[in-house]
Amino acid sequence: MLTHSLAVLIVIAVVFAVAKKLRLNTELCLLLGAVSAVIAHVILPMGEDPRSVLTFAEVIRHLVEGTFTYFDVCMTFLTATFFMTLYKETGGVSYLVRTIVKRFYDHRVVCLLLLMVVMMVPGAVTGSGATTVLTVGGLVGAVLTAMGVEEDKRVALIFILAAMSAACPPINLWAMMAAAGANMPYTGFTWPLLILSGLGALFATFYLAGKGERKGTVDEVLATLPEAPAGWNLLKAFVPFVVMVVLILGARIFPAWWPTFGLPMIFMLCGFTTLLVSPKKVNVLDIAMTTVTNLKELVGIMMVVGVLNQIMTLTGARGLLSLAVVILPIWLLFAALWLILPVTEGVLQYAVAPLFGVPLIMLFNMLGYNPIIALSCWAVMWPVGDCLPPTAVVGRATVLELDYKGEYYKGFVKKALVPMLFILAICTLAMIFNKPFGNFLGV
């Protein structure tokens, strides 16, 4: 069976590489990899133990069922991005960014901190770095340009902040998925995730954008930013977020009586609120189509990775990968997870959370380590890999949104290396000292 599963993994890798050479997009390469894997599974000998018959219909069922693995996550992405795109298209984002620049442009530190918060919010509530990039990335990028931040650093910063926003609580999909898979309640993660992602965001912000020649006065900068439609004010700008906070907090304050909205419905209600308060009217179907187009890669990747995950589980390839990680000596895991986790994120996106996260949680639990701290560290390390091949979803979204013309790896990724290494270093340290860190936070 070891040979069988290894052969399936090799087939996936080879087919992926060949498909990439034929210039297919990443989603189709992964899909072809999954289909080839199941064909290889059926053809190759399966080892010495008796196996059940796998019919053609069952193969089809597995391929289709795999698309459901991240269906709820995709619904959350779509509705959250729809909300933020509505907010952007109606001028809310422009209004907020102009307000920040107007009031704080002459105070670089405060301005950077507020921009950092603006970047962190979308990902914190949706769990998606791509949503952050697509909704506020462009405008924050424009402000950074005006603040004299050079292009490579600007793109690097937007990427890092998007990654940290996805890691930031309350929604961290890696932690949620791994915890659910290990039958662990998703409680106690807020502070470790906030500290680690917050430190990472702060370091990146001031390392990459702390210095820069301002490109003009406040009025000159405001002239480069899109005008917000007349009729926006601070109250209207905050109301959709107030609705979001009320809907989320309501469930926590009145759990026995609060309806079960679910995140997709929460975002749709926030979107509806935006339509109500916005002075500018928009066509919601056009916005939905824009959302789908913008998220095509992310949603497509998630669905295809779901298929790949299902097929890898069917064939034993997933088990082989999980086993390979957990039988490593603990000192090697401490020494190498900073590299393994981002690289695997680049390959499998969110699928890495159940794939590696669950057996690692079991292992750390068995060794008497604090699984909440450990999982928090991994859940901040994983999104750092969102610029790595073959998926590179958030990296590619950043490049597209900021219309970056430079070199992907030698340009922005190189500039992002130091903050990335900083984040990986603090997470590794927190992982090694998980017990004192956990005691300090009371988790």
Partner 1 sequence: MSLLVIVNLIITICTYATAAFFLLAIIRVFIKTKNVQDALVYVVIMIPFVLRLLRLK
Partner 2 sequence: MKNKTTIVKIVAVALAVVMMAIAGYMFREHRTYKEPVVVSKYITEVKKLSDYSDVIKGTVNDCNVYIFDSGVPGGTILIWGRSHPEEPVGVMACSLIVENLKVTQGRVFVIDSMNTSASTNTRVGEAYPRFFTYDCGWGTMKWRFGDRAGNQLDSWPDPEVYIHYPSGQNLANVDVRNINRTWPGKANGLLTERTNYAAMQMIKQEGIDLAIDLHEAELEYSVENTIVFHQRGDVVGSMVSMDLTADPFDVAITCNYSPEALHGLSHREIGDWSDCVPYTFEVAEPMLDRIRGITDEALLMEGKDRFVMLAGDHKLLYSPIDESGWPIEKRVARHITTILKTIEWNNMINPDQTIQVEGIPSYQELCQSLAPYYYNPATAPADRVYYD
DSSP assignment letter at 387: G
Binding mask 53-72 for partner 1 (x = CB under 8 A): -----------xx-xx--x-
Q: Does 181 bind partner 2 (CB under 8 A)?
A: yes
Write out the two tokens for 341.
């986790």
Q: Which stretch binds partner 2 (CB under 8 A): 145-153, 257-265, 339-347, 408-416?
A: 257-265
Q: Which stretch binds partner 2 (CB under 8 A): 60-68, 83-91, 147-155, 288-296?
A: 60-68
Name 45's Cβ contacts closer than 8 Å, sequence gap at least 6: 4
Q: Does 33 bind partner 1 (CB under 8 A)?
A: no
Binding mask 69-108 for partner 2 (x = CB under 8 A): x-xx--x---------------------------------
Min CB(84)–partner 1 separation in Å? 15
DSSP letters along 36-66, please? HHHHHHHHS---SS------HHHHHHHHHHH
Print the SS3 string covering 287-303.
HHHHHHHHHHHHHHHHH
Q: Is 425 exposed, middle or buried (0-12, 13-18, 19+ CB in 10 A)?
A: exposed
Q: Which stretch binds partner 2 (CB under 8 A): 151-159, 276-284, 359-367, 421-429?
A: 359-367
Determine the Cα–Cα distance for residues 385 and 349; give it in Å rounded to an integer.
9
Look at residue 36 and give the partner it binds from partner 2, partner 1, none, a contact being a CB closer than 5 to 8 Å depending on partner kind. Answer: none
Q: Does 257 bind partner 1 (CB under 8 A)?
A: yes
Write out the two tokens for 430.
């927190």
Binding residues among 134-173 for partner 2 as defined by CB under 8 A: 170-171
Looking at 138, 306, 411, 438, which residue binds partner 2 (CB under 8 A)? Answer: 306
DSSP assignment letter at 316: T
Closer residue to partner 2 in complex, CB, 255/281: 255
Determine the Cα–Cα distance for residues 75 and 60; give it in Å rounded to an integer.
23
Look at residue 366 and give the partner it binds from partner 2, partner 1, none, a contact being a CB closer than 5 to 8 Å depending on partner kind. Answer: partner 2
Using CB under 8 A as the binding criterion, the count of chain residues that bind partner 2 stands at 73
Closer residue to partner 2 in complex, CB, 172/278: 172
Name 111's Cβ contacts closer than 8 Å, sequence gap at least 6: 100, 101, 104, 105, 143, 147
Q: Tell me how many degrees the CA angle 25-401-276 measures, rounded to the nearest 5.
A: 115
CB-CB neighbours of 107 under 10 Å: 11
Q: Does 259 bind partner 1 (CB under 8 A)?
A: yes
Closer residue to partner 1 in complex, CB, 26/135: 26
Name 128's Cβ contacts closer than 8 Å, sequence gap at least 6: 76, 77, 80, 81, 122, 166, 173, 298
DSSP assignment letter at 226: P
Determine the Cα–Cα distance for residues 56 and 54; give it in Å rounded to an integer.
7
Closer residue to partner 2 in complex, CB, 126/274: 126
AA identity, residue 213 = E
Q: Does 255 bind partner 2 (CB under 8 A)?
A: yes
Binding mask 266-305 for partner 2 (x = CB under 8 A): x---------------------------------------
Binding residues among 260-299 for partner 1 as defined by CB under 8 A: 260-262, 264-265, 268, 285, 288-289, 291-293, 296-297, 299
Look at residue 303 and give the partner it binds from partner 1, partner 2, none, a contact being a CB closer than 5 to 8 Å depending on partner kind. Answer: partner 1
Size (the chain), residues: 443
- The residues that touch partner 1, with contacts defined as CB under 8 A, are 24-25, 27-28, 31, 64-65, 67-68, 71, 74-75, 78-79, 257, 259-262, 264-265, 268, 285, 288-289, 291-293, 296-297, 299-300, 303-304, 307
